């Protein structure tokens, strides 16, 4: 189960706002709401860091892929700088 960070933020705001109007008896809920808001902000930052990291890994994978080619004799993956296929030994170019 994955709860989006924005749901945490909304929940925290609703909880702390409603307990604020309900009075001193609900001061615990007010702090609980603040903690949930902090949690939501933390999750938002985590999601942002994680997603930006992921895209940079994808970019790197694409860049590395450009250095590779397929042998037209046996379909083995070979480096573009190679003259001969490492699998079947046939000339690549
Ligand atoms: Zn080959």
Instruction: Quick: pLDDT tens for 21-64.
Output: 888 788 888 899 999 999 999 998 988 888 777 777 777 777 67
Q: 87: pLDDT confidence band, cut at 50, 70 and 90?
A: very high
| Mean pLDDT of all residues in 8-28 | 87
67 Cα to the center of ligand 1, angstroms: 16
Phi, psi of 70 (to 5 degrees): -110, 140
**What pLDDT score was predicted for residue 60?**
76
CB 12 within 8 A of CB 42: no
Residues with CB under 5 A from ligand 1 (ion): 71, 73-74, 76, 85, 87-88
**Phi, psi of 84, deg, nearest 5:** -125, 145
Q: How far is the CA of 7 from the centre of ligand 1 (A)?
A: 54
């Amino acid at each position: 189960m994955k709860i989006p960070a924005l749901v945490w933020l909304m929940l925290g705001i609703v909880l702390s706002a409603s307990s604020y109007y309900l009075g001193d008896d609900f001061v615990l809920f007010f702090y609980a709401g603040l903690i949930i808001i902090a949690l939501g902000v933390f999750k938002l930052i985590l999601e942002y860091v994680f997603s930006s990291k992921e895209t940079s890994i994808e970019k790197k994978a694409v860049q590395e892929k450009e250095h590779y080619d397929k042998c037209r004799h046996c379909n083995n993956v070979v480096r573009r700088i190679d003259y001969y296929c490492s699998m079947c030994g046939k000339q690549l170019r």
